[in-house]
Amino acid sequence: MTARVLIAGIGNIFLGDDGFGPEVVRRIPRHPDDAVRVVDYGIRGMHLAYDLLDPWDALVLIDAIPNRGTPGELAVFRAEPCAAGTAQLDAHAMNPDAVFAGVRALGGTLPLTVVVGCQVESVDEGIGLSGSVAAAVDAAADAVNRVVADLLSTRQEV
């Protein structure tokens, strides 16, 4: 039996490069393994929190990363959620720490979480990614597919 993996694109498409996660999810085809689910959550943080109450082995979170490097630069890293109680729960926002706090508040536990992120150029109001972030979308989709393949191969039950 294979691991259950949730791929979640998050971000606000009305704030420029913040729409990175939803755009990457659009480029990822339906996974042939039914244990893998791909969802564009946009800014629906509570929806993601409720979905994380299901028994997932891993979460791959696709998001824009502000102020951490050169615009368009990709980063793949394991998320280390904040300690319980340090993030404010907001049903109308998509902040990963708030989502994680929501899962805990609802009595759930967080699965192993890997972030595939892209350094933003601009999160000013407007629809559409900047050129540098748009150029990273296909590489990010490839990175997500590699992460999922690795998660599935290492989480096989014997």
Q: 14: which strand partners?
A: none
**Which of the 8 DSSP states describes residue 52?**
T
Q: What is the pLDDT of residue 79?
A: 86
Output b/e per residue, 141-158; b: 16+ Cβ within 10 A. bebbbebbeebbeebeee
Tell which CATH architecture fits domain 5-154.
3-Layer(aba) Sandwich (3.40)
Q: What is the pLDDT of residue 29?
A: 85
| Model confidence pLDDT, tens digit, residues 51-82 | 999 999 999 999 999 877 899 999 999 987 66
**Domain residues of the chain, as ranges?**
5-154
**Which of the 8 DSSP states describes residue 86?**
S
Residues of the chain with confidence (pLDDT) below 50 = 85-92, 157-158
Tokens standing for 88? Answer: 């404010």
Tokens standing for 144? Answer: 């997500």
- Cα separation, 105 vs 81, in Å, equals 14
Q: What is the pTM of this model?
A: 0.88
Q: Which of these, 24, 56, 57, lies nearest to 41 by C-alpha position?
A: 24
- Cα separation, 94 vs 100, in Å, equals 10
Beta-sheet pairing, 112-119 with 74-78: antiparallel
- From residue 157, give the alpha-carbon distance in Å to each of 6, 135, 140, 145, 146: 18, 37, 28, 20, 20
